[in-house]
Each structure stands twice: as C-alpha cells, then as structure tokens.
Amino acid sequence: MANKKLIVGNMKMNLTLDEVKSYIEDMVDDKDCVICPSYLYLPYFIEAGYTVGTQSIAKYEDGAYTGEISAHQAKSLGVTYTIIGHSERREYLNEDDSIVRAKINLALSNQLKVILCVGETLEERETSKTKDKIKHQLLEDLDGVTFTNENLIIAYEPIWAIGTGKVPTNEEIDDVVTYIKDIVKDNYQVEPMVLYGGSTNDKNIEQLSTISSVDGFLVGGACLVPEKFIKIIRATK
C-alpha cells in the first residue's frame, strides 16, 4: 500500500450483504487500507481488490470446533491480516493472554500478519496503571513468540475510548505509543509499527495524524460509512 500510515477498518458485527455491496461501490477506488469485515463478507472485499484481515481466528489449527475459523482457512482464502486480542474478545469471550498468545503463534505460522490489540480500562487509567497493564499484556502475549516488525503490529486501543467519542490527547497517545515501542524493542529486539485506535473518526483524524510516533490507525465505527472512511484514508496519505 502506498499510504505511509497503515489504516485498518474493523467492521465488527455490522452490515448486511446488500449494505456490503453498496459499501464497496461507494468506496470507489479508495483501497489504500485494510478491511476487516465479518467472516461472511471476506470474499466480497477480496474480489473487489482490498487487502483484508479477519477480526479474530481460532486458537486451534483445525478440527471439530463448530463456528470457528482457523488461520489456515483464512490464509487459503487470501486473507493477509488478523486482529488478535481486541478488548471486546478479551472481555466478552473471556480470551486471556494465553489464548491470545496461542492465536498469535498460529497466525504467524500460517503467514498471517498479526495486529495485536492492547489497552487499559478507565479505572486503570484513573489509577495510573496504564503502562503496567500494557507492559503485562505485551510480555504475556508475546512470551516465546518469534516475530518481526513486518509480521506483527501493535494497536494501542484504550478501552475507555472505544466507541465513546473520548480520545486521549496527542501527548498522551504519543507517550503510550513510545512506551510500547520501547518495551517491545527492549524485550524482543524488534521495532514494531504501532497503530492508535479508539474513537478515531473523520473529524479528529487530521489532528491525530500529526503524532509522529503513530504508524497508523485501527478504525471502528467510522469505517462503516464510506465517506467518513475515505476522509480518514485520504487525510493520512
């Protein structure tokens, strides 16, 4: 992709098939991004020429696990990326660090690029535990994992900012993103790309794009509206 910042759209469990078809038409030629739709719609975006990712993968290689999607299956379809460790998966589906780590290993062994999500709750932020939480997640999730700055990306998503419209200041984001890079470099000798996610939208993207330490954005709700997502993509070129 020509875009110097990596833009990832996490569609979560949204859109019908008709809406997906209209979305693809409305996006015109703005394909300088990664689209992570519901599993059902992956083929439509691949056929339309998008780089795609899954919103998760199974912690199993394959087998009798009804409803799951394996890294191997995703790769065979033409998927490039997978999001792992999103706070919604951790909270609602009880995915702990050991599960996240298992998924990372499976993704990498199947040549999928991983977008690993880390971030703190509002309570952790208010009690000055943001960096403790993030360091714990990084060290637990990546323990024993062999990775490079090309196949593993970190996404900093403060949980309290996801879908709330609340966004940390540029200075706060820069501080945490720089901390993440330092932790990974010090412990794994890798200098990763780090994305920011959490209420990123078409109105604040220009301001957020001025943070030099941020290598891209993981976009939630705003990616569901083509005109908004187009503005985000173009604002970061």
Q: Measured between alpha carbons, how far is residue 116 from residues 38, 90, 231 in Å?
A: 18, 12, 25
User: Phi-psi category of 79—alpha, beta or left, where left has phi over 0 and alpha has psi -120 to 50?
Assistant: beta
Length of the chain equals 237
Give the CA angle between residues 78, 81, 85 to the nearest 5°. 140
Q: Measured between alpha carbons, how far is residue 86 from residues 64, 90, 212, 218, 228 in Å?
A: 24, 6, 24, 11, 23
113-118/216-219 β-pairing: unpaired
Active site residue 227: no
Active site residue 86: yes
User: Which residue among the candidates 123, 157, 171, 191 is catalytic per the annotation?
Assistant: 157
User: Which residue among the candidates 68, 72, 86, 227 is catalytic per the annotation?
Assistant: 86
By annotation, the residues acting in catalysis are 86, 157
